[in-house]
């Protein structure tokens, strides 16, 4: 299944791997052979390189890679588990300071979390791109017409969104007073239908289409990362 | 009576309220499925029958059970549409995507009756073999409290018998000492194929 449909390997169910899956999807699309070679090399030898980063995961990560369970398709993709755990092990942001070293079940915890600055730093290290980022972990980007901004950027580059996922995919009926972003997706299309906006994005290996209002779009977005070739 | 007496009484009352909130959840869990077995199984069966023709998930977005989110699942794309059930566009969309609108609307009506907030199919792997289960969540009044916050009664329906430990917790079939998690929660036995959990999220 992994080789017949590589997209099945890009999943993040029940983990904090969404940032890594969004980045990995782009790597897979741009250079599927190179991406697969990287994963296989890492899994077989315990080290690999991508972009300007050299990866050598810690012994504990190497021990647990392949043993993550109840994560959907990730259960049967040990090489992808190794890759995501390695990315989390290698790149650190302020959220990871609370939990720096991997222990069992840390794939669901702050150890694997990705703040916005860390996400953008990963992109700069892994790809030869110009990376423009707007927004922050607690502050929305100062853009009045988010739809037009995204529509223009999609014409000339790759766009990632940093979202308040609790609003996009409600999991309970609590009315959150303080919205925080927790999720990364790759935006692939945006269009208007009447007074609604259609967005299509890659989320954990699955292409998803939602219709939302312009106000809701502005509300859920905390970060926009726009990448172009140098 | 001493000056501290009113504060002691207040502290004891607060503790009793907290304890009663916890025990309400446990009492509900043992009885709820049995009391509503016919309706719950009917919802599961209707969902499974319709899902087999055309995959989907249903979410009730609000506590009044008026607004739903309907997920249309195809091989290439997941569409998520939001509807006000008091309008007709839900039925129109179902027809457009070749769902049996009468069946789905009937299912939605049953879900509303028992305050079922979410129904979906989850896939998982057992010994590298893909399998699936039906997952439903119910928002029961007895589970909501100031101290516990939002809670839901989640039920999962397997197609095969499962294994449990001495405390009734769902375990991994191959690593019997390992508790099995579904959406990050540990589930407990109702029958060999049906389990429940009290969760903070409905999905």
- Based on its alpha-carbon atoms, the radius of gyration of chain A, rounded to whole angstroms, reads 17
Could you tell me which chain B residue has the CA closest to the CA of A169?
B203
Q: Flag whether pLDDT at A163 surpasses 90.
A: yes
Spatial separation of the C-alpha atoms in residues A98 and A57, rounded to whole Å? 19
Instruction: Give mean pLDDT, residues A176-200.
Output: 90
Closest-CA distance, A26 to chain B, in angstroms, reads 17
Of residues B61, B81, B128, nearest to A211 (C-beta): B81
Q: Quick check: B17 pLDDT over 70?
A: no
Average of per-residue pLDDT across B77-93: 93
pLDDT bracket for residue A170 (50, 70, 90): confident
Interface residues of chain B, partner chain A, Cβ below 8 Å? 59, 61-63, 69, 76-82, 117, 123-125, 128, 139, 149-150, 152, 172, 178, 180-184, 200-203
Question: Is A89's pLDDT higher than 50?
Answer: yes
pLDDT at B175: 82
Min Cα distance B168 → chain A (Å) is 19
Helical (H) or strand (E) element with B153: strand B152-157
Specify the pLDDT at position A1.
Answer: 44
How confident is the model over B47-76, as a mean pLDDT? 94
Highest mean pLDDT among A16-20, B2-6, B176-180: A16-20
pLDDT greater than 60 at residue A2: no
Residue A171: per-residue pLDDT: 80
Best of B65, B69, B82, B137 to disrupt the A interface (most A CBs within 10 Å) is B82
Left if phi > 0, otherwise alpha if psi is -120 to 50, otherwise beta: which for A80? alpha
- Cβ–Cβ under 8 Å, residues A221 and A163: yes
**What pLDDT does B203 receive?**
86
Which residue in B66, B78, B174, B200 has the most chain A C-beta atoms within 10 A of its own C-beta, making it the best mutation to test that interface? B78
Rounded mean pLDDT, A117-141: 96
Distance CA B130, CA A198 (A): 32
Residue A172 in contact with partner chain B when CB distance is under 8 A: yes
In chain B, what residues touch A207 (CB-CB under 8 Å)? Answer: 76-78
Written as six digits, the tokens of B43 are 């919802």
Closest C-alpha to B31, from B137, B116, B142, B166:
B142
Q: What is the DSSP string of A62-130?
A: HHHTT---SSGGGGG-HHHHHHHHHHHHH---GGGGGS-S--TTGGGSGGG---HHHHHHHHHHHSSEE
Model confidence over A214-227: pLDDT tens digits? 999 999 999 999 99
- The pLDDT, as a whole number, for residue A141 is 96
The minimal CB distance from A206 to the residues B59, B78, B117 is found for B78
Provide CB contacts within 8 A for B137, sequence distance 6+: B116, B117, B118, B119, B152, B153, B154, B155, B199, B202, B203
- How much is the average pLDDT of A129-143? 95
Best A2, A16, A70, A165 member to test B by mutation, with max B CBs in 10 Å, is: A70
Quick one: average pLDDT of A57-72? 93
Question: In A, which residues are within 8 Å of B201 by CB distance?
Answer: 171-172
A67 near B CB under 8 A: no
| Coil, strand or helix at B65 | coil
Q: Which residue of A has its CA nearest to B171?
A: A70
Residue of chain A whose Cα is closest to the Cα of B186: A70
Does the beta-carbon distance from B81 to A172 stay under 8 Å? no
pLDDT at residue A13, as a whole number: 80
pLDDT tops 90 at residue B58: yes
pLDDT in tens, A22-53: 999 999 999 999 999 999 999 999 999 999 99
Q: Taking 50 as the threshold, does the pLDDT of residue B180 lie above it? A: yes
Of the pLDDT bands very low, low, confident and very high (cuts 50, 70, 90), residue B28 is low
Count of Cβ atoms closer than 10 Å to residue A214 Cβ: 14
Closest CA to B96 of B113, B109, B114, B83: B83
- Tell me B169's DSSP state: B
Share of chain B above pLDDT 90, in %: 61
Residues of B in contact with A108 (CB under 8 A): 184
Structure confidence at residue B31 (pLDDT): 80
Q: Which residue has the higher pLDDT, A170 or B101?
A: B101
Res. B146 pLDDT band, cuts 50 70 90? low
B15 pLDDT above the threshold of 90: no
Give the pLDDT band (50/70/90) at residue B128: confident
CB contact under 8 A, A69 and B172: yes
* pLDDT given for residue B184 in this prediction: 85
| Nearest alpha carbon to residue B152 among B163, B164, B141 | B141
């Amino acid at each position: 299944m992994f080789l017949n449909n590589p997209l099945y390997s890009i999943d993040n169910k029940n983990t904090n791997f969404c940032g890594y899956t969004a980045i990995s999807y782009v790597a897979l699309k741009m250079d599927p052979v190179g991406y697969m070679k990287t994963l296989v090399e890492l899994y077989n030898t315990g080290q690999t390189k991508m972009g300007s980063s050299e990866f050598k995961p810690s012994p504990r990560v190497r021990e647990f890679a392949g043993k993550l369970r109840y994560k959907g398709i990730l259960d049967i993709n040990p090489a992808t588990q190794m890759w995501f755990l390695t990315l989390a092990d290698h790149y650190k942001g302020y959220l990871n300071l609370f939990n720096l070293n991997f222990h069992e079940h840390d794939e669901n915890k702050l150890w694997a979390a990705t703040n916005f600055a860390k996400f953008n730093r990963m992109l700069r290290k892994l790809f030869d791109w110009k990376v423009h980022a707007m927004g922050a972990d607690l502050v929305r980007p100062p853009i009045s017409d988010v739809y037009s901004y995204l529509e223009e950027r999609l014409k000339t580059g790759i766009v990632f969104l940093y979202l308040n996922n609790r609003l996009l995919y409600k999991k309970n009926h609590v009315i959150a007073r303080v919205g925080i972003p927790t999720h990364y997706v790759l935006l692939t299309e945006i269009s208007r239908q009447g007074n609604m906006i259609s967005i299509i994005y890659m989320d954990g290996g699955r292409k998803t289409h939602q219709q939302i209002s312009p106000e809701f779009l502005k509300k859920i977005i905390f970060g926009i990362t726009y990448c172009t070739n140098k | 009576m001493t000056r501290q007496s009113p504060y002691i009484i207040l502290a004891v009352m607060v503790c009793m309220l907290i304890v009663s909130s916890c025990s309400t959840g446990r009492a509900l869990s043992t009885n709820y499925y049995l009391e509503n077995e016919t309706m719950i199984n009917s919802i599961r069966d209707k969902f499974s029958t319709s899902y087999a023709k055309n995959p989907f998930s249903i979410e009730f977005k609000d506590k009044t059970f008026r607004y739903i989110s309907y997920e249309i699942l195809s091989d290439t794309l997941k569409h998520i549409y939001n509807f006000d059930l008091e309008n007709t566009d839900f039925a129109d969309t179902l027809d457009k995507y070749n769902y049996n609108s009468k069946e789905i609307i009937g299912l939605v009506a049953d879900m509303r009756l028992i305050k079922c907030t979410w129904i979906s199919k989850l896939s998982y792997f057992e010994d590298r073999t893909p399998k699936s289960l039906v997952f439903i969540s119910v928002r029961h009044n007895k589970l909501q409290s100031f101290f516990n916050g939002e809670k839901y009664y989640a039920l999962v329906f397997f197609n095969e018998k499962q294994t449990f430990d001495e405390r009734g917790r769902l375990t991994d079939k191959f690593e019997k000492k390992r508790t099995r998690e579904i959406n990050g929660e540990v589930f407990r036995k109702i029958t060999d194929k049906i389990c429940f959990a009290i969760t903070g999220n409905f999905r």
